[in-house]
Structure 1
Amino acid sequence: MKHCFRIGLYKQGLLHDMSKYLPSEFLIGCKYYQGTRSPNNAEREVKGYSAAWLHHKGRNKHHFEYWTDYSLEQKGAALVGVKMPRKYVAEMLMDRIAASKVYNGSKYTDHDPLAYYQNGKTHYLLHPETADQLEKLLHVLDKHGEDVLFDFVKNRYLKKRCGLDRIHKPVRCDAVKHLI
């Protein structure tokens, strides 16, 4: 919530992951809670799937899995990633940062969210443009830290004042221009 607030997504910050408090997610979360990783993975190991995750991803637009659909193309994948609106990409980014902090605790570094993304990105059903935006934003975090990233996301990315290819000085983002 506090990360969403820092980038100006107040409503999304307040409503973020509210479905976790519904019995279909909350009770499973309590049962499989470990503190170092998602309880959904523990449920998945026991059952072969996570009922809580299936419920959660269908109700929370900041998860890229929400943004999948059947392809109309006869060739290629049957399911494809759909381009995500920027406000949900930004919320997903904040969620990844917060989750990395929770799971890594005092060992957290600004590289952790990028490393986690890179470790699984070959399996993600993300629209190519969404994947490109997310990865570039994670690189900004890795190289320049939260303050520069959050400033850029709030003042440029969400306001569409420039694309990820045009970052400049007024928002202290000139240092990241070469990355994006």
Structure 2
Amino acid sequence: MSFQYDQYLANHRANVKRGFDWLCENLPDVTNDVSDAAWQIEFAHDKSKDEEDEYNAYDAYFYGNNRSYKVVQDYQRAWLSHIHRNPHHWQYWILIHDDMENGELETILEMPYDYIVEMICDWWAFSWANGSLYEIFNWYAEHSKFMKLAPRTRETVEDILDKIKNRLDSLEIEHSGVKGMKWGVRNGPPYPIKDNGRVVSQKSTLKNAAGKDIISVTHVELTGTPNSITQIQRKNGGIDRNYYDGNGRQIKQISNNDHGQPQRHPYGKNGEHAHDYVYDETGELCDRPARELTQKERKENGDFL
């Protein structure tokens, strides 16, 4: 175990989250339909790298000052394991056949949308780390030549990247008045500054069936106003309500749908369910188990169930 590798993992995961948060604030149409994936992207990205077989091999290869045959072999096996444990890697979706099928030895499968978004945030994390948010576009132009992406997957990837670039361009003009000025996160934030430096989402107040105030938001955070409830409406029409405790930490989410994943949310009549938020001893979110709604929860939220 090395401090350097621990620091790299923490920084990388933080930059993946920064990229996803930027998308939520600046391109909500890209992230509105990734409700369950949002937790994975922001708080569980690359968790398999904490597993001993991956962690030790990566640490030795990158920070052990040793590239012996064994170290390289261990790293390659760890990388292969990592790919097969994490569907946000495009390599995960390549099926190798035992025999030739239709003249091909492999089939390239389409990636689900959630994993495409996580993959782009994973790539973009290195641009955030380097302080140049445009870097991803040159990186993709070079590496896409060798990526085996199914047609719709490639189209979706490039559509999202185009949206990111166009939004960055428009924010540059808004920030500096000059399109093409290559300032990155070191020279200024890639979004409009409001409210003493914070990006503020428009909020409006609603009420649930029990008469409690509900704050309408465009992005869900793990921290909020103490003892508050927020609500976000997804592009597919689904609604999530988020509950915060007296310290302003999210403790629960109630959804009126199954997020398009009925196998993972086999609850209620329409997939309505709750997620309880579980934190470890350090205060880090470590789990988000789903469950049926209680009768009290159904009554309080009868206005949107």
The one-letter amino acid paired with 2:133 is T
RMSD (Å), alpha carbons: 3.3
Is 2:91 the partner of 1:65?
yes
Is 2:16 the partner of 1:10?
no
Looking at structure 2, the residues matched to 133 and 59 of structure 1 have their Cα atoms a distance apart, in angstroms, of 23
Deviation per CA, 1:131-165, whole angstroms, max 9, x where unpaired? 11102211222232276xxxxxx8xxx8469xxxx
Call closer, same or farther: CA 1:124–1:114 in 2, change over 3 Å.
Answer: same
Q: Is the 8 A contact 1:68 1:81 kept in 2?
A: yes
Looking at structure 2, the residues matched to 124 and 66 of structure 1 have their Cα atoms a distance apart, in angstroms, of 12
Unmatched tracts of structure 1, length 5 or more: 35-42, 148-153, 162-180
Looking at structure 2, the residues matched to 22 and 48 of structure 1 have their Cα atoms a distance apart, in angstroms, of 14
Equivalent in 144, 149, 156 of residue 126 of structure 1: 149
Call closer, same or farther: CA 1:118–1:96 in 2, change over 3 Å.
Answer: same
The one-letter amino acid paired with 2:19 is H
Q: Is the 8 A contact 1:89 1:130 kept in 2?
A: yes
Q: Is the 8 A contact 2:110 2:153 kept in 1?
A: yes
Deviation per CA, 1:11-63, whole angstroms, max 9, x where unpaired? 212221100101111112222336xxxxxxxx9x9449712210101011111
Q: Secondary structure at the match of 1:50?
A: helix
Map residues 43-122 of structure 1 onto 2, 5 A cutoff: 46-47=72-73, 50-70=76-96, 73-75=101-103, 77-102=104-129, 105-106=130-131, 108-110=132-134, 112-122=135-145
Q: Is the 8 A contact 2:137 2:161 kept in 1?
A: yes
Looking at structure 2, the residues matched to 24 and 137 of structure 1 have their Cα atoms a distance apart, in angstroms, of 34
TM-score of the two chains, using structure 1 as the length reference:
0.64
TM-score of the two chains, using structure 2 as the length reference:
0.40
By how many angstroms is 1:3 displaced? 3.4
- For the pair shown, the structure with the greater C-alpha radius of gyration is 2
The one-letter amino acid paired with 2:80 is L
Q: Is the 8 A contact 2:57 2:74 kept in 1?
A: no
Aligned residues: 140
Q: Is the 8 A contact 1:25 1:55 kept in 2?
A: yes
Q: Is the 8 A contact 1:64 1:81 kept in 2?
A: no
Residue of structure 1 equivalent to 2:7: none
Looking at structure 2, the residues matched to 117 and 16 of structure 1 have their Cα atoms a distance apart, in angstroms, of 21
The one-letter amino acid paired with 1:90 is V
Is 2:59 the partner of 1:30?
yes
Q: Decide which structure has greater helix share.
A: 1
Unmatched tracts of structure 2, length 5 or more: 1-16, 25-30, 64-68, 169-189, 192-218, 220-233, 238-305
